[in-house]
Amino acid sequence: MNYVMIGAGGIIGSLLRYSLGVLTHPWLSNGFPLGTLLANLIGCFILGWFTTGILRLKLFHPHILAGLGTGLVGSFTTFSTFSVETVLLLRSGSILMALIYVILSLAGGLFMSWYGYFLGLRMFKGRGEAAS
């Protein structure tokens, strides 16, 4: 049942993220990814709120919680999880671990983005838009 709820939440979250991107697209005059930024900030707020509020209150069945947290928010953004985990590490006093986590997440994410872009350029060179 968890898989069904996570899948349903994932569908909703990904559609919401897509819709946010469509709604903010006209505002992207300089190429700034406003839709993604907003999705990440909103997701951080929702997951932080969800983690500290809804989970502690135990108002919903665990399957519903998995659908909302992992499914909906997880598909809306993964940055929210990164942010909340960093806050939890800091609150628990694991400052060095939080610092390492942030550096590895950001540097690793940037590196993997660059590496994927680099490989894509090489693999699709001369094949239309991907090579430009």
Q: Which residues are annotated as a binding site for Na(+)?
A: 74, 77
- Over 80: is that where the pLDDT of 40 sits? yes
Q: Which residues are annotated as a binding site?
A: 74, 77
The b/e string for 93-104 (b: 16+ C-beta within 10 A; e otherwise) is eeeeebeebbee
CA angle 127, 111, 131 (to 5 degrees): 10
As a whole number of angstroms, the distance between CA 78 and CA 62 comes to 20
List pLDDT tens digits, range 79-121.
877 888 899 899 989 999 999 999 999 998 899 888 988 888 7
Four-CA torsion 50, 52, 53, 56, nearest 10 degrees: 110
User: Tokens standing for 101?
Assistant: 């986590």
As a whole number of angstroms, the distance between CA 109 and CA 52 comes to 27
Q: What is the pTM of this model?
A: 0.67
Report the chain's mean pLDDT, rounded to a whole number: 84
pLDDT at residue 119 in the model: 85
